[in-house]
Each structure stands twice: as C-alpha cells, then as structure tokens.
C-alpha cells in the first residue's frame, strides 16, 4: 500500500471490524481459489512471507487492531462489576483451519484453578462447540462467559482490552491479544504451529506473549503447573500492592 498498490484482503467477515480503517479494502471470504474480481496480482496470505522476505529474517510489526465503539460499550457494561479484580481471559480450544487440531486444545480442568487465586476473576472468551464445556463443568457460577456475547472479533478485542492477562491455547484469540500488545500466556502442544518454533518461551511475532510448552506429547500437566505458578505469583504481588496500582507481567 505504501508503494501505491490498491490492496484487497479477502477474509472472514468476523475479522472485518478489527481490520477496518487501514489502507486495505476488505471483502468477505468466499469459496474457490481466485478472487471474484480480476486483480493484476493475487496471492494466498501465507505465501506472502516467502515472496516479501525469502530469507525469513524480517518479522513484521503486529497489525493495528481497530475496536468498534459499540463493542467497547457492550463489554464495559459486562466487565465493569469486576473492577479491581485481576481479570484473566481464557480460551482453551481453537477452531477452524489448520489450528483445528484436538491436540492443541487445553483441558478446561487445567484452567479452572485460576479462579481460586486471590483477587482473580476469570472470563471465558471461548466460542464454538467447546464453549459448552464450561457449563458441563459447573463453572458458570465463577467464570464470566463473555464468549457468548461476542458477535465478531471487534467484541473480542474490546473484551481483551479490559483484561490484565489472557491464558489461551494457540488460537485466533491468542494472536489477537498478541497484536494488541496484551500480556498472553500461550499454552502450546509439543509440536506447535511454525511461528512459535520448537524451543524457547518467546516468539518475535508477539513480544508480549510468553510460551508455555509441553515437555512431551500430550503433557498438559507440566504446562498447567507452570501456569498456576506464574499466575499465582502475579496475583500475590498484585494483592500486596495498593489499590489502583499497576502490576507488570513480564512476557
């Protein structure tokens, strides 16, 4: 766009609210390979890195996220009663595309102990079929369900804006929070998506994201143990500080 191109991005309509206002025209995703209109050039999104930076040495800045004002109003009304709490958003299952992998889903039972930590309020940002798990687990009484209120990713972004921390499996919610610069603890399977590499607790794609990895295939126990240790420490530090003070969560 900076070089004068007229760019159209074809993506799911649920993404349009958070990508609005940029230099790219958005159209709804449709079936088939080539776009409906005839551009001079077209390219699948994930083929662009190899064309723009074949050596793979440049990581782009996270995309700017737009948050609709009506989404802010909607989520503020829902979250305002929990002002003063250490607000943690959770999402335990990704859906759609290559991330629709049951191995990457985190057992909800690993996340529920977060709600017992001092001063913590847990908010579910889970959508899709997996959202019903919180009700089957009897968590409706102590986990606030925001996912059911989200009409699109604009609402999700507005909810994330008010969270102190997101704890999530590899999912669109985790990457959205990473783009927004929110603190994220990403819970990864032993063989994760390529942007996370195979070792280390950080990714250059999202500087505020900390990676908690399985030590062996299927080993969520160690991941959840480290999760509770970290969040428990942050919650304890926050509880000792004066009301209204800011707790910095190091990625």
Question: What pLDDT, on a 0 to 100 scale, did the predictor assign at position 210?
Answer: 96
**Range 45-63 average pLDDT:** 81
Q: Read off the pTM.
A: 0.87
pLDDT of residue 98: 45
- Local confidence band at 86 (pLDDT 50, 70, 90 cut-offs): very high
Q: What is the pLDDT of residue 247?
A: 53
Starting at the edge strand found earlier in the chain, the sheet holding 184-188 runs 143-145, 120-124, 86-91, 165-169, 184-188, 209-213
Report pLDDT digits (tens) over 125-159: 999 888 888 888 888 788 999 999 999 999 999 99
């Amino acid at each position: 766009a900076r070089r004068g191109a007229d760019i159209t991005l074809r993506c799911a309509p649920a993404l349009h609210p958070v990508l609005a206002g940029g230099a790219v025209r958005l159209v709804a995703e449709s079936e088939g390979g080539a776009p409906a209109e005839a551009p001079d050039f077209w390219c699948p999104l994930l083929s662009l890195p190899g064309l723009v930076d074949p050596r793979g040495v440049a990581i782009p800045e996270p995309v700017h996220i737009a948050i609709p004002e009506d989404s802010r109003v909607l989520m503020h009304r829902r979250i305002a009663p929990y002002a003063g709490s250490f607000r943690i958003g959770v999402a335990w299952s990704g859906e759609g595309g290559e991330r629709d992998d049951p191995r990457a889903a985190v057992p909800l039972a690993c996340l529920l102990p977060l709600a017992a930590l001092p001063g913590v309020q847990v908010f579910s940002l889970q959508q899709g079929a997996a959202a019903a798990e919180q009700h089957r687990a009897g968590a409706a009484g102590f986990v606030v369900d925001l996912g059911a209120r989200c009409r699109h990713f604009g609402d999700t972004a507005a909810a994330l804006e008010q969270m102190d921390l997101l704890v999530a499996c590899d999912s669109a919610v985790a990457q959205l929070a990473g783009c927004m610069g929110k603190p994220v603890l990403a819970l990864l399977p032993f063989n994760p998506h390529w942007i996370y590499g195979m070792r280390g607790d950080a990714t250059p794609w999202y500087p505020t994201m900390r990676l908690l990895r399985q030590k062996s295939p299927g080993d969520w126990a160690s991941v959840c143990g480290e999760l509770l240790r970290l969040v428990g420490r942050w919650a304890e530090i926050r509880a000792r500080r004066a009301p209204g003070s800011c707790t910095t969560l190091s990625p």
